Each structure stands twice: as C-alpha cells, then as structure tokens.
Chains A and B, each alone.
Chain A
Amino acid sequence: MQQQTDQALITAVLEGNSSAYAELVNRHKRFVFTMAMKFAKNREDAEEIAQDCFVKAYRSLGSFKNTSKFSTWLYTITYTTAMSFLRKKRIATYSMDEEDNHLQLENHISSFQANVVEKKSKYAYLNLAISQLLPDDAAIITLFYQSEQSLDEIGQVLKMESNTVKVKLHRARLRLKEKLEYLLKEEVKELL
C-alpha cells in the first residue's frame, strides 16, 4: 500500500507536480535524518546530509526504475551521501580502548541537551552506544530495526550480499551489547 502511494507520488512529481515531492519528503525524512545522525553525530551536519539526499533523489527521480522499494533506493542514496560526507569531514570514530574515552562520553552526553529527561533512560544509553559503533555497524542496525528493511534490501543499500549483511548484523549487535555493558557497567544487569 505504502509502496503504491510512493509510486503514485513519484509519478505526480514526474508529471510536473513538484509539490507532491513534499509528501515524499515528509514520509521518509525521519528515517533519512536518523541514518544521517548515525554518521554525522550532530544535528546540523545530519540535516545537511539529509537535505542533500532528498535533493539528489529529486534530481535522479526519473531514473528510479521501481524494481525496488522507493525507500530502499532512497536509503542507498542516503548511505552513499553520508559515506562521502564522512570521507570529506574525516569524523573521528570513538574507540572503547582510547584513554580519553570517559571525557568523550561525557562530552557526547552533554551534547544531547535536548534529551535531558531521557538522558538517564535506557534509550539514551542505547542511542549513545549505537553512536559509538563504526558507521557501517550503526547503519546496519538502524536499517534492520528502524526501517523495516529485509536483509536483501539492506544488502542493496550497502552493496553487499545478504549473507554478509547477516554476519555483519550479528557482529554489530555483539559490539553494541559490549558497548552497552561498558556504558552501563552495573546498570546493564538491570537493563538486560
């Protein structure tokens, strides 16, 4: 149903009704922005990436062949754009082995000022743990759990075989669990 409606909107855009694109943007903006957040780590850069994705998708809308879901196609653009952004900005990824990790964690937590209430909740810790994963791991987990994409579709987005995605998903979840354990220490026993 959703796919048909997406297709109807795409047809409307291709027939010259560019305002129909606003509906497509509204429908997918939250996930695209969430994906961008996994790479950029701050709202300003994530918004820039997400907006760039939608503009690129608009330019290439004529080449969308409808052989996959529009969301899968859009997430492929999102992943590619976010990776290019990372290469340009060379954002440092966190490692649990680094000595100044505690300082980084504190800084990172304080950057989530908007979520002060949520800060101590398990979701805040989970988001924090996901944000400390490698971009590929964070992308796989986000695509699997938050976009309802199958392993095959995630494979299309990340340009990998579905079996590779499955193995990477297993590893990403194990790493996530380790990071959560590290973050929560004693609290993890209560959480898990």
Chain B
Amino acid sequence: MKRIEEQIWDYIDGGLSNKEQEALAKKIADDNEYATVYAEMLELHSLMASVELDEPSMSFTRNIMDKVNLETAPLVLKTRVDKRIIYSLSAVFLVAMVSVSWFAVAHTDFPALALPSFNITMNLQQLVSPLSLQIFFYIDILLALLYVDRLYRSKKA
C-alpha cells in the first residue's frame, strides 16, 4: 500500500493510469487529509519547477574554448577504425592457423593412436646451479623494480 505522499506525487507527475487518476482526484476532493497533502505537494512541485539555473562566470565559455583549442580535434570513431583492416587481419591469421593445423595433421604419423610414455626424472643438483640462481635473483629484482615503479605511479596519480 502506497503512502499518501507517494500516491499524490504519482498523481502530480502524471504517473497513474486514467482510472487511478480519476479515483485519486475524487479522494482529494472528498478527503481533507488528501486535500492538505495535495496542496502542500503541489506548492512544492511548482516551487521546484520554477527555480532558475545557476549562471557561471562571464569567462566560462572562453576558458573552455581556450582549453579545447589545445586539444586534438575529435574524430568520429568510424574514421579512426576501419573495419576492413580488422577483417583483413583476421582473415590472414585464420588462413595461417588453418594451414599450419592442416600441415601438422597431414605430416603426423599416428601409430595406432598409442599414448607415449613419459619418464620424468628430475635431478635437483643440475637445476640448482649458480647460473640458475643468478637468473632467479635477476628476475626477482626486475619484478621488485616493476612493482615499486607501479606503486610510485599510482601514488603520483
């Protein structure tokens, strides 16, 4: 059940059906409470509708045009992105992928579709060498520098 205020606002805004509009008009005419709320809301409504807009300073438009003249002229997106280029590139990649796949399938021998067996043995002594450690630390330092750079940029922004 809507509150009286909500019903009256709907009535003033014209958001009710004809039947509801008529029913509410009758209620406003007959019921003192509805009539009082309606008078209040209507006064507020017309007051809000008659409020004038604020006026910016005299130099407002000139200031904007000064800034706009420093900007690159806007272009319609259609002229910036030609769809034919995108379709051509897509076609080239598609043809390349299909050709490579076809070539791979054509030159592969499937001996009874047997799954190959894998013998995974890892020698940790070989993996942890001075060179691999150096590479590991180098990548770590690089990642740390990237992180610091990103952090600094976000703080600056």
Binding site for B on A (CB under 8 A): 13-14, 16, 18-19, 21-22, 25-26, 29-31, 33-34, 37, 43, 46-47, 50-51, 54-55, 58-63, 122-123, 126-127, 141, 145-146, 166, 169-170, 173-174, 176-177, 180, 191-192
B56 contacts A62, C-beta separation under 8 Å = no
**B76 in contact (CB, < 8 A):** yes
Query: In the complex, which residue of chain B has the Cβ closest to the Cβ of A47?
Result: B56
Contact with A along B23-61 (1 / 0, CB 8 A): 000000000000000011101100111111111110011
Separation in Å of the A139 CB from the closest CB of chain B? 14
Are A47 and B60 interface neighbours, CB within 8 A? yes
Measured between beta carbons, the chain A residues less than 8 angstroms from B67 are 51, 55
Among A13, A37, A50, contact of B60 (Cβ-Cβ < 8 Å): A50
List of A residues within 8 angstroms of B57 by Cβ: 43, 47
**Chain B interface, number of residues (Cβ within 8 angstroms):** 35
Contact present for B6 and A145 (CB under 8 Å): no
A16–B72 CA distance with the chains assembled, in angstroms? 10
**CB atoms of B40 and A192 under 8 A apart:** yes
**How many A-B contacts are there with CB distance less than 8 Å?**
103
Q: How far is the CA of A55 from the CA of B71 in the complex (A)?
A: 9
With beta carbons under 8 angstroms apart, the residue of B5, B53, B69 that contacts A31 is: B53
Whether the pair A170, B5 counts as a contact (CB closer than 8 A) is yes
Given contact pairs A21-B65, A22-B61, A192-B43, A127 touches B55 in the complex (Cβ within 8 A): no
User: Which chain B residues border A16 with CB–CB below 8 Å?
Assistant: 73
Contact B75 A14 (CB under 8 A): yes
8 Å CB interface, B68-82 against A: 68-69, 71, 73-77, 80
Which residues from chain B contact A61 at a C-beta distance below 8 Å? Answer: 74
* CB of A132 to closest CB in B, whole Å: 15
A-B contacts, 7 listed (Cβ < 8 Å):
A29-B60, A58-B68, A58-B74, A122-B47, A123-B47, A166-B15, A180-B44
Q: Are A25 and B48 in contact (CB under 8 A)?
A: no
Q: Given contacts A14-B74, A166-B15, is CB(A30)–CB(B56) below 8 Å?
A: yes
Roughly how many angstroms separate A174 CA and B80 CA in the complex, as a whole number? 49
Residues of A within 8 A of B52 (CB): 123
**B68: A residues at CB distance < 8 A:** 18, 21, 54-55, 58
A54 to B67 Cα, complex, angstroms: 10
Residue contact B74 to A33, C-beta cutoff 8 Å: no
Asked if residues A146 and B53 are in contact (CB atoms below 8 Å), the reply is yes
- A25 and B71 contacting across the interface, CB-CB below 8 Å: no
Query: Is B11 an interface residue, CB under 8 A from the partner?
Result: no
